[in-house]
Structure 1
Amino acid sequence: MTAQLELNSILIPLFLFTLLATATPGPNNSLLTLCGSRFGYRQTLPFILGIRAGITGLFILMASGIGSILAEHPHWYFYLKLLGAGYLVYLALKMAFSGGHKQQNSAEKQIGFRQGALLQFINPKSMMMVLSCITAFSLPGDLYLLSVIQACLIFNLVGLISNSAWTMFGALIGRFLATEQARQRFNRILALLTLIAVALLFI
């Protein structure tokens, strides 16, 4: 009973943290909004599920000891952030200059479950949020594993809702992007938001 009370005591702050981490603008949500505007929710669903699978993989890695190693060697984490930031800048530039039916078909082939999962392992925001979540909401001793599983489940449940909301928002906006010019402007706005999110990770 005591163990259950301890786990329950962190549910509300865990939920609020997760909501803040997953609902705010970032690389994942920018890409989901873009895909939603182009392909709709149903075709973007594999990408959403891939993101959640990648986040689960990060939880497993961080909880199994990688997180403590990165904490002890912050320069390694910094290099990972640089690598991830470079790739996200590349995606943002690709997003900014995308447009046209041929490019849309190409993007559809490139973004799916596997890409969504792998992206999380070089996404600085995802790494930072998962590491922070485990650090803040894991309980010591025998409750460590249960508390990490609880954190992972809540993070993915709230994240799934947030990701779906951003995708549906993109799908809604896509209905009003009747011209190629309008789509290009929208893409550039999303690219700019992605670049700002990347820059904020280094402040």
Structure 2
Amino acid sequence: MTAQMELSSLLIPLLLFTLLATATPGPNNSLLTLSGSRFGYRQTLPFIFGIRAGITGLFILMGSGIGGILSENPHWYFYLKILGAGYLVYLAVKVAFSGNRKQHNHAANLIGFRQGALLQFINPKSMMMVLSCITAFSLPGELYLLSVLQACLIFNLVGLMSNSAWTLFGALISRLLSTEQARDKFNKVLALLTLLAVALLFI
């Protein structure tokens, strides 16, 4: 079997895995929905691109062997989980309790590119998704680098579409709500769902 055929044989299962990993509810998508509801899709784009940059950074780290070190030192992973949970709670509360879209179109309460990228390095779900993806869809020997690059590219392309869909969902629902009070209640519910997603990381 040629190298191209070996890489191609991974595409369909890789696409299915990536869709399941990126489209299901989790801390990233919960925060994106909340940000989309508060600030709209365009204002949330830096956060989306930050997530993708952070995921790419995780692929580089995990692909170079950091994942193995974490597996051998599970207490490090636990500390990262605690740190990530605290940061997720902070971001959820910050966005949920900011003012309305007209009052807060500035950077003060937006989750930006840098925050979105940093979050991936302490988000347990992101770390496990990337590590699982590399473990399942990398090929040994000379094809290792190419297979990891392929996995990273597919993961980011599908993830970009999933992240955008969740953000647009939040923006659409917010537009359909007739009053600012209703939008505030909706955002509080989204914040609670984000906190639930954080709690599920410890189960």
Q: Give TM-score, length-normalised by structure 1.
A: 0.91
One-letter amino acid of the structure 2 residue matched with residue 33 of structure 1: T
In the alignment, the residues of structure 2 paired with residue 132 and residue 168 of structure 1 have an alpha-carbon distance, to the nearest angstrom, of 28
| Structure 1 residues 11-50: aligned runs within 5 Å | 11-50=11-50
Question: Equivalent pairs: percent with the same residue?
Answer: 84
- C-alpha contact (below 8 Å) 1:25/1:193 kept by paired residues: no
- C-alpha contact (below 8 Å) 2:34/2:96 kept by paired residues: no
SS in 1 for 2:176: coil
In the alignment, the residues of structure 2 paired with residue 134 and residue 78 of structure 1 have an alpha-carbon distance, to the nearest angstrom, of 21
Counterpart of 1:180 in structure 2 is 180
Counterpart of 1:199 in structure 2 is 199
SS in 2 for 1:25: coil
One-letter amino acid of the structure 1 residue matched with residue 133 of structure 2: C
Query: Offset at 1:147?
Result: 0.7
Structure 1, unmatched stretches of 5+, are none
Counterpart of 2:4 in structure 1 is 4
Query: Offset at 1:161?
Result: 0.4
In the alignment, the residues of structure 1 paired with residue 170 and residue 101 of structure 2 have an alpha-carbon distance, to the nearest angstrom, of 17
SS in 2 for 1:184: helix
SS in 1 for 2:50: helix
Query: Offset at 1:76?
Result: 0.8
One-letter amino acid of the structure 2 residue matched with residue 7 of structure 1: L
Query: Offset at 1:95?
Result: 4.1
- C-alpha contact (below 8 Å) 2:35/2:95 kept by paired residues: no
In the alignment, the residues of structure 1 paired with residue 2 and residue 102 of structure 2 have an alpha-carbon distance, to the nearest angstrom, of 59
Counterpart of 1:115 in structure 2 is 115
Relative distance call for 1:110 and 1:95 in structure 2 (3 A) is: closer
SS in 2 for 1:111: coil
Counterpart of 1:78 in structure 2 is 78
In the alignment, the residues of structure 1 paired with residue 183 and residue 132 of structure 2 have an alpha-carbon distance, to the nearest angstrom, of 36
Query: Offset at 1:84?
Result: 0.4
Relative distance call for 1:149 and 1:101 in structure 2 (3 A) is: closer
Query: Offset at 1:107?
Result: 5.8
- C-alpha contact (below 8 Å) 1:98/1:184 kept by paired residues: no
In the alignment, the residues of structure 2 paired with residue 169 and residue 110 of structure 1 have an alpha-carbon distance, to the nearest angstrom, of 18
In the alignment, the residues of structure 2 paired with residue 147 and residue 179 of structure 1 have an alpha-carbon distance, to the nearest angstrom, of 50
SS in 1 for 2:25: coil
Relative distance call for 1:103 and 1:93 in structure 2 (3 A) is: farther
Aligned residues: 203
- C-alpha contact (below 8 Å) 1:99/1:180 kept by paired residues: no
Query: Offset at 1:102?
Result: 8.4
**Alpha-carbon displacement from aligned partner over 1:148-170 (angstroms, at most 9, x marks no partner):** 00000000000000011111111
In the alignment, the residues of structure 1 paired with residue 91 and residue 43 of structure 2 have an alpha-carbon distance, to the nearest angstrom, of 19
Query: Offset at 1:99?
Result: 3.8
Relative distance call for 1:70 and 1:107 in structure 2 (3 A) is: same
Relative distance call for 1:154 and 1:108 in structure 2 (3 A) is: farther
In the alignment, the residues of structure 1 paired with residue 191 and residue 37 of structure 2 have an alpha-carbon distance, to the nearest angstrom, of 14
Query: Offset at 1:100?
Result: 4.0
| Structure 1 residues 28-177: aligned runs within 5 Å | 28-100=28-100, 104-105=104-105, 110-177=110-177
Structure 2, unmatched stretches of 5+, are none
SS in 2 for 1:160: helix
When structure 1 is superposed on structure 2, of 62-71 and 82-91 the one drifting more is 82-91
